[in-house]
Each structure stands twice: as C-alpha cells, then as structure tokens.
Amino acid sequence: MISSVDKTCPLTFASVDPDAALKAVVGKKRSEVLAEVAASGLKGRGGAGFPTSVKWNLAAAARGQEKFVICNADEGEPGTFKDRVILSDYADLVCAGMTAAAYAIGATRGIIYLRGEYTYLRPHLEDVLARRRGRSLLGPKILGKDGFDFDIEIRMGAGAYVCGEETALIESLEGNRGEPRNRPPFPVDTGFMSRPTAVNNVETLAWAACILANGAEWFKKHGTEKSTGLKLFSVSGDVERPGVYEFPLGITIAELLRHVGGENAKAAQIGGASGHCVPASQFERTIAFEDVPTGGSVIVFGPDRDMLEVAENFLEFFVEESCGQCTPCREGSRKLLEGVKMLRKGTCSMKYLRELCGLGQTMQLASKCGLGQSAPNALLSIVEHFKDDILGRTPQAV
C-alpha cells in the first residue's frame, strides 16, 4: 500500500523525463557527466550539504575492481517526509540518478537502503526496478552501451535512525550494528565491503538526474551562489497547509511561512531534531547551506507551544537513537534530557543551566558522528532564544 501523499505545490520532478536524463548520460563521456554535476554546484540534499560532484569525483578516481552506488533512503530525521514522496511518485528519477552516478564513477552495483518504517514502499520500488530491467535501463549493456552494466537491489533498514549516517548505513549493510565508523577513510575509497562507494540521499540523486537532463545552467537559475537550485521541504506543525513544498534555496523563513500559512509562528525548527530552532525575530534569515541549513524538515510552532516540551521530545529521541558508541553523545544526551526535565519542573539553577550548555558544546565538538554533534543543537538554540519561557517555571502537572 502506498500512502496518500500531500503535495502542496507542483514539483519540478514531475516535468523531468528520467529516460531523457539517462540517454543524455550515455551520450557523454564519464568526465563530462562529472563536469556537468560539478558545474551545477549540487550539494547533498540529506542535510549535510557536501558537494555531490566532489563525492563522485573521489569515487571515480578511487581504484577498485568493484564500486557501489548507495541510495540513502533511511529518511529518519524528525519532521522529514519528502523522500517518501519522491520514492512514491518519482522513483524512476531516483533510479536514473543512481544509474548516472554508476556511469560516472564506474560502479556495477547499486543498493537502495530503505528504512524499515517504509516497508510498504518496497513492492512499488521492486516494480519500478523490474520495469527498468525490462526496458534495458538496468542490467547488462544499459541502453545498448557496451561495458555499462549496473543493477540495483533493495535492502531494508530495521528501525535505527543512526543508520542514516553513511558509515553506519554501510555497517548495517555489511551485517553489523549500525555504529558509525571513524573517518577517514571515507566511503568514497573504503565503503561497502571496503570498496569505493558513493552514498547519496534520495533527493540528491533525483536532482542529479534532472541536471543531466536539463543542464547545469538550468539548475543554477534558482538558489544562491553557494546553495544552488531548488529543494524540497517537508512542512509540518502549526501551519494551515502542511505538506511537501519546493522552494529555491536562499528563501527566507518568513517567506516560506507565508506560503504554508504559518505567519503567526513563534518559532520554526529548521532541519529536524538535529537542526536549529529559529525564533520569530530571526525569520528574515535564509534557508541555505551558508545560513540555516536543512535536509528539508520545517516544523512550525504556534504562539502557544511550550518550547521546553519540544526540547524534551527531541532529547528523548536522541537518548533512544544514540548508538551508545561514544561517551559524549551517549551520556551527554541523557544529562541534557535530565536538565530539561528539571527546567520543566522549575528546579534548574542558572549555574546548572550554564553547565548544561557547556556540556552541549562539548558534545558538538567531541562526538564521533553527526548524530551526537547535532543532538544538543535544538536545546542550545531554545535556551538562547527562549530564556523567558524556560526559567523559573512553576511546577505543572505534566
């Protein structure tokens, strides 16, 4: 069963022909494909914003008998659901993007790592893959091109948020606990089965296909100099029209809120639990890799929301999803959660709150992977912007 999908504005993906993208790819040299993606300035749409062309170039340059392209469909960031929509409606575009990546780096095997919570999407994706094999868009000699062999299989996650981190994802594929690796080495040279591997987000791959169909200049018409192109946003919370939206990067938060019907918000959480909480006074800031970065999650909080409840919810999430491997993240998340509970009961001194913030900064510096480094973000930004809301509270029945 494929769930109903709320799309609140027309998406560019609907207008791009995945076959055209792939035909354009096989008509080019590998270096030309890499150059086109580099010219577009496409950056990873999963949230980290790493330049896609750099990743592909490194994987292309790496020596290896066998190389892999992995589509990271472990969409788990709280408040994010755009990948679900893309996989439901534009799976061919994602597959075309993977195939293009395979061509560019010289990979023969592709894996879609689909989160366990999206198991209901699997039959649909298997159908898409089977159809593509039937049309010679996957398998040996793709589109009749000699030496261009590539196929995609689907592997399922099993309910671990940390597996969205690319090295944890690879660990999981290899049959291990999903614990992030030390980097370097990076997956582009030592990835799945120690082979060169390009791991890209669902949306990144779909945009790569669009770029190869329509050209880098078309893509750069939108966005800012450092954050080119359009981006999908998953909007939820206190807004009139929640759903998936497409906006150019560089849009101000205020403008985004006008589109979705959330003008009276007191804060917006940009980038999910690991992102930042932006207060209304800063709604003129832009959503872009150089200002407020995001993987697409926008959760809007209306005037009556208790920001401490938000912080508590996110910290409970991190306590549960920390893999437990490194101390700053494992113990730090717990201490921060305890601190939030004290704040809610009104028993936290200013001195202790400062210590908690110091601990949060330590976690940002000392945690091994992005999960622990970003776990304190929400609390730190809420403490910074909503002191009046959180200090000296009288105990409430929670």
Binding residues (CB under 8 A) for other proteins: these are 1, 3-4, 6, 75-81, 83-84, 115-120, 155-161, 172-179, 193, 234-238, 242-244, 269, 272-273, 299, 305, 309-310, 313-314, 316-317, 320-321, 323
Cis check for the bond before 184: say yes or no (omega within 30 of 0).
yes
Q: Which is nearer to other proteins, 25 or 319 (CB)?
A: 319
Query: Dihedral angle at the C-alpha atoms of 152, 155, 160, 166, nearest 10 degrees?
Result: -30
| Helix axes of 122-134 and 91-105: crossing angle, nearest 10 degrees | 60
* 389 touches 335 (CB < 8 A): no
> Which C-beta is closer to other proteins: that of 52 or that of 234?
234
Report, in Å, the least distance between residue 225 CB and other proteins: 31
CB of 156 to other proteins, least distance (A): 6
Name the H helices within the chain.
18-26, 30-40, 52-61, 82-89, 91-105, 122-134, 166-173, 202-214, 216-220, 253-260, 307-321, 327-345, 350-366, 370-374, 377-385, 387-390
Amino acid found at 33 = V
Helices 91-105, 52-61: inter-axial angle, 10-degree rounding: 40
Least separation in angstroms between CB 380 and other proteins: 17
Question: How far is 79 from 310, CA to CA, in rounded Å?
Answer: 12
17 versus 117: smaller Cβ distance to other proteins: 117
Helices 377-385, 307-321: axis angle to 10 degrees equals: 160
For the CB of residue 272, give the shortest distance to other proteins in the complex, in Å: 8
- 77 Cβ neighbours under 8 A, 6+ residues apart: 47, 161, 164, 271, 272, 273, 274, 295, 297
Nearest distance from residue 318's CB to other proteins, in Å?
Answer: 10
Residue 85 vs 212, nearer CB to other proteins = 85
Q: Considering the complex, what minimum distance in angstroms separates the CB of residue 3 from other proteins? A: 5
**Minimal distance, residue 218 CB to other proteins, in Å:** 29
CB-nearer residue toward other proteins: 78 or 328: 78
Q: How far is the CB of 359 from other proteins (least distance, A)?
A: 22
| CB-nearer residue toward other proteins: 97 or 178 | 178
Structure tokens of 268?
Answer: 């917006």
Q: Which CB sits closer to other proteins, 38 or 280?
A: 280
Question: In the complex with other proteins, which residue's Cβ is closer, 273 or 379?
Answer: 273
Where b means 16+ CB within 10 Å and e means fewer, 53-75 reads: bebbbbbbebebeebbbbbbbbb
Q: Which of 242, 248, 250, 252 minimizes the C-alpha distance to 282?
A: 252
Distance (Å, rounded) from C-alpha 351 to C-alpha 96? 55
Nearer to other proteins, 156 or 254 (CB): 156
What is the C-alpha separation between 219 and 52, in angstroms, rounded? 14
Q: How far is the CB of 310 from other proteins (least distance, A)?
A: 6
Q: Is the previous residue joined to 180 through a cis bond, with omega within 30 degrees of 0?
A: no
| CB-based contact 242:235 (threshold 8 Å) | yes
